[in-house]
């Protein structure tokens, strides 16, 4: 099942435990949080240009693994899951 989020200004991805991930999308009117289990990986596909303003990846062993991106302008995304999470600009 695909999810669509609109006017996203920031994406926050966190490894909550083992192969479980939480994705949070900061949108103009609301925040959307999605949770996934048994994730193999995360893929970002930019069919429409995506311009990150800042990006931070935290991979330290004793802290939660985190990837957050602040975007230069609001972008729409479609999120799908089939073993791996695909975040695709639209």
| Residue-wise pLDDT tens digits, 6-41 | 999 999 999 998 899 999 999 998 999 999 999 999
Cα torsion angle, 42, 84, 24, 75, sign: positive
Mind listing the pLDDT tens digit for each residue in 56-84?
999 888 888 999 999 999 999 999 999 99
Q: What is the dihedral of CA 41, 86, 11, 89, to 10 degrees?
A: 150
Residue 90 has pLDDT above 80, yes or no: yes
Please give the model's pTM, rounded to 2 decimal places.
Answer: 0.90
C-alpha to C-alpha distance for 88 and 59, rounded to whole angstroms? 23
């Amino acid at each position: 099942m695909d999810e669509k989020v609109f006017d996203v200004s920031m994406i926050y991805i966190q490894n909550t435990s083992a192969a479980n991930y939480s994705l949070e999308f900061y949108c103009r009117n609301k925040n959307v949080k999605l949770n996934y289990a048994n994730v193999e990986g995360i893929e970002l596909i930019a069919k429409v240009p995506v311009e990150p303003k800042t990006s931070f990846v935290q991979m330290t062993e004793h802290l939660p693994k985190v990837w957050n991106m602040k975007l230069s302008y609001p972008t729409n995304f479609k999120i799908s899951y089939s073993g791996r999470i695909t975040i695709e600009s639209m």
